[in-house]
Amino acid sequence: MMRKIIKNQVTKSGQALIIILLVMAISLTLGVSVASRSISTLRQISFSAQSAKALAFAEAGAEEALKCLSDGSCSAPYDPAAADITGDGNNDFNYQVSVLGQASIFNDLPPIDRDNTIEMNLVTYPRDTQISIYFVDRASSDQLAANPGLEVSLIYCDDDGPTCTTGNYKLQRNAYDTDSARANGIPKLTLGSYSVGGTTYGYRVTATPPGGKYPTVLRLRLLYATEPISIATEAAGGAIFPTQGAKIESTGFSGQVKRKVEIVRINPALSELFDFAIFSGSDSSPLSR
């Protein structure tokens, strides 16, 4: 009888031990899970804070670059040393300013919206030299479906000199449409494939100043488009476009996080209202396709 009681007590003790071990295992699992989630949350909070701080530093670098360009204390290209504005011994940001233009291809601007205008300075561009204009990125289904039109305005001087000291400025203007069903009297373009500067465009038109005349400004105004459209220009015959502005790339640092800000600062341009206010009695020959 005594032996049976002892056996029952041993069995109950073994069961209690198993239960205790199970409870401990479950508690440990829950504890590890809660701790892991807490650590993950803390990391996310820390990363978000560092990310916001790095972005603020990058924007500070961009603002410094813009101020530098505006007050004339620097000019593109410009690559100053990294800055430590907090005084903690770590670099907070650095930035570089590069030149826009001074190349045979100009495709540095982001896609533009309907009724917005790109203006290019052509003061030093050679006379009688064609400019090719490409638009609609074929890799973008949204751009292909946007059915844009494009107005091309070329301002030139009827003087034989590049500085137009004794001549008059005149305007050569034409428009093109990519929607064959749109009844507006504008010449229609057929979708093609033109690779320029690493991008394949769907449409191409060309502009050339009248014989012997020097171009001054090229203005490209987007029409009809339901989406922003990519535009690029290319100089013919190895010609080089003049400087069109500056590109700022600023990087901010905080801990292990880097944030980058990119700004395109183009030369001062006339308002879009200019396109509605100026008329020309000059040579009205159309631009060629």
pLDDT of 114: 93
* CB atoms inside a 10 Å sphere around CB 56: 15
Least trusted range by pLDDT, from 6-15, 81-90, 104-113, 212-221: 6-15
Has residue 102 got a pLDDT over 60? yes
Whether residue 93 contacts residue 58, with contact meaning beta carbons closer than 8 Å, is answered with yes
Query: Residue 107 falls within a domain, yes or no?
Result: yes
Query: Residue 75 falls within a domain, yes or no?
Result: no
Per residue in 35-94, pLDDT tens? Answer: 777 777 767 777 788 889 999 999 999 999 999 998 989 888 999 999 888 888 888 899
Q: Is the peptide bond before 286 cis (omega within 30 degrees of 0)?
A: no
Residue with tokens 């010609």: 239
- Residues in Cβ contact with 169 at an 8 Å cutoff, skipping those fewer than 6 apart: 155, 156, 157, 158, 216
Query: Residue 181 falls within a domain, yes or no?
Result: yes
Question: In whole angstroms, what separates CA 200 from the centre of its chain?
Answer: 17
Whether residue 212 contacts residue 231, with contact meaning beta carbons closer than 8 Å, is answered with no
Taking only Cα atoms into account, the Rg of the chain, rounded to an integer number of angstroms, comes to 32
Beta bridge partners of 262: 249
Query: Residue 19 falls within a domain, yes or no?
Result: no
H-helix or E-strand spanning residue 106: strand 105-106
Least trusted range by pLDDT, from 3-12, 22-31, 112-121: 3-12
Give the residue-averaged pLDDT of 194-211.
93
pLDDT of 42: 66
pLDDT of 83: 87
Query: Residue 74 falls within a domain, yes or no?
Result: no
Q: Is the peptide bond before 77 cis (omega within 30 degrees of 0)?
A: yes
Assign 284 a pLDDT band (cuts: 50, 70, 90): very low
Whether residue 213 contacts residue 283, with contact meaning beta carbons closer than 8 Å, is answered with no
Assign 14 a pLDDT band (cuts: 50, 70, 90): low
pLDDT of 285: 42
Query: Residue 168 falls within a domain, yes or no?
Result: yes
Assign 268 a pLDDT band (cuts: 50, 70, 90): confident
Has residue 18 got a pLDDT over 80? no
pLDDT of 281: 47
Name the residue range of residue 149's domain.
103-241
Query: Can you tell me the distance from the alpha carbon of 175 to that of 76, in angstroms, rounded to the nearest whole number?
Result: 34
Residue with tokens 């396109």: 275
pLDDT of 288: 38
Domain holding 148: CATH number? Answer: 2.60.120
Question: In whole angstroms, what separates CA 180 from the centre of its chain?
Answer: 30
pLDDT of 211: 80
Query: Residue 76 falls within a domain, yes or no?
Result: no
Query: Can you tell me the distance from the alpha carbon of 263 to that of 247, in angstroms, rounded to the nearest whole number?
Result: 6
- Residues in Cβ contact with 128 at an 8 Å cutoff, skipping those fewer than 6 apart: 208, 209, 211, 212, 213
Assign 4 a pLDDT band (cuts: 50, 70, 90): low
pLDDT of 3: 55
Q: 243: number of CA atoms within 13 Å, CB side?
A: 11
Helices and strands, counts by H and E, the chain: 3, 12
Has residue 144 got a pLDDT over 80? yes
Query: Residue 285 falls within a domain, yes or no?
Result: no
Total domain count, the chain? 1
Burial 93-121 (b: 16+ CB within 10 A, else e): bbbbbebbbeeebbbbbebbebeebbbbb
Has residue 277 got a pLDDT over 70? no
The two structure tokens encoding residue 97 = 């300013």
Give the residue-averaged pLDDT of 214-231.
94
The DSSP secondary-structure symbol of 167 reads S
Give the residue-averaged pLDDT of 121-145.
93
